[in-house]
Amino acid sequence: MNDMPPETFRDEELLADVICRLIGDVRHIAVGAASPIPATAALLARERGNLRNLGRPYVSLLGSRQHTFFTDGSRELFDCAGQGRIDVFFLSGGQIDGAGNINLVSVGDYDKPKVRFPGSFGSAYLYYVVPKVILFRVEHSRRTLVQKVDFISAPGTSPENIFRPGGPIALITNRCLFDFDRERRRFRLASVHPGHSVAEVIENTGFDFDRPVDVPTTPTPSADTLRLMRSVVAPMLAEVYPQFAKTVFGASSSRPPQGDG
């Protein structure tokens, strides 16, 4: 297990703590594939529990047999989202722009792209119907956070005559946290992570954004949060993300031996 002292933390632990606080009091958190940091945050939120007597939220990790509400994978994810039974989801993109648009298709000319991404999957649909969509991108650079995406896989906002209960609430990166202002249709710098600066964020961001006169520093995880993440969440996480759990937390899977039910 991770034996780092509580006053010392990894970047992944900071980001998971920030995302956990963004999740808030909800009933069902769903996490897609290749999302170990959001998965850490979702499991942390479940272990912390809700503050408004809602009980512990459900957590559904795609690819997990132990930590999921689903019995039919992504198909059931889409069904539950359309029925309003998922409160939080996470999206990323090869490119994200200042209007909250994400690109999961390609960079450059569509027919002869410079870069081809994995594809949109259900991002556009989920972006429309899930009330809280948290965007995340560990690489914060002008290559990833651009003025305008080359291809809109999922739009950040819609015309006023379009019914849309879902959309982005925030963007978390390795440098900072942005809130998303749906009325102004743009990001606002909410906080800068320890060890980084506003000037650094401006230099490495391709889009314009709003910011207060005094930008706060992102709060660091408490000792209790780090202990919970390392001792309880990390072994659960290892079922789906064994390499991440081992590298970040030094954890192995908590999966029970076969036949123990």
pLDDT tens-digit map of 106-137: 999 999 999 999 899 899 999 999 999 999 99
pLDDT of residue 3: 57
pLDDT of residue 59: 95
pLDDT of residue 253: 67
Contact 204, 233 (CB under 8 A): no
pLDDT of residue 53: 59
Domain count along the chain: 1
Mean pLDDT of 209-235: 96
* Highest mean pLDDT out of 44-58, 111-125, 165-179: 165-179
Domain assignment present for residue 255? The answer is: no
Full-prediction pTM beyond 0.85?
A: yes
Mean pLDDT of 219-244: 95
Domain assignment present for residue 168? The answer is: yes
More confident residue, 130 or 256: 130
User: In percent, how much of the chain has pLDDT > 90?
Assistant: 82
Give the pair of three-digit tokens for residue 41. 């945050």
CA angle 202, 186, 221 (to 5 degrees): 65
More confident residue, 120 or 251: 120
The residue written with tokens 């982005």 in the block is 168
Mean pLDDT of 94-105: 98
Domain assignment present for residue 140? The answer is: yes
At 237, which CATH number? 3.40.1080.10
CA 40/CA 17 separation, integer angstroms: 9
Mean pLDDT of 82-110: 96
Contact 149, 184 (CB under 8 A): no
Q: At what angle do helices 36-48 and 11-23 cross, to 10 degrees?
A: 60
Q: Which range marks the domain in which residue 213 is found?
A: 11-249
Write the single-letter amino acid at 87. D
Paired residues of 102 in beta bridges: 96, 154
What SS3 string covers the chain? CCCCCCCCCCHHHHHHHHHHHHHCCCCEEEECCCCHHHHHHHHHHHHHCCCCCCCCCEEEECCCCCCCCCCCHHHHHHHHHHCCCCCEEEECCCEEECCCCEECCEECCCCCCCEECCCCCCHHHHHHHCCEEEEEECCCCCCCEECCCCCCCECCCCCCCCCCCCCEEEEEECCEEEEEECCCCEEEEEEECCCCCHHHHHHCCCCCCECCCCCCECCCCCHHHHHHHHHHHHHHHCCCCHHHHHHHHCCCCCCCCCCCC
pLDDT of residue 54: 62
Mean pLDDT of 150-175: 96
User: In percent, how much of the chain has pLDDT > 70?
Assistant: 92
pLDDT of residue 4: 58
Domain assignment present for residue 221? The answer is: yes
Domain assignment present for residue 116? The answer is: yes
CB-count exposure of residue 212 (10 Å: 0-12, 13-18, 19+): exposed
pLDDT of residue 33: 86
Domain assignment present for residue 79? The answer is: yes
CA 59/CA 86 separation, integer angstroms: 10
Domain assignment present for residue 211? The answer is: yes
Domain assignment present for residue 3? The answer is: no
Q: What residues have CB less than 8 Å from 256, skipping those under 6 apart?
A: none
* Average pLDDT of every residue of the chain: 91
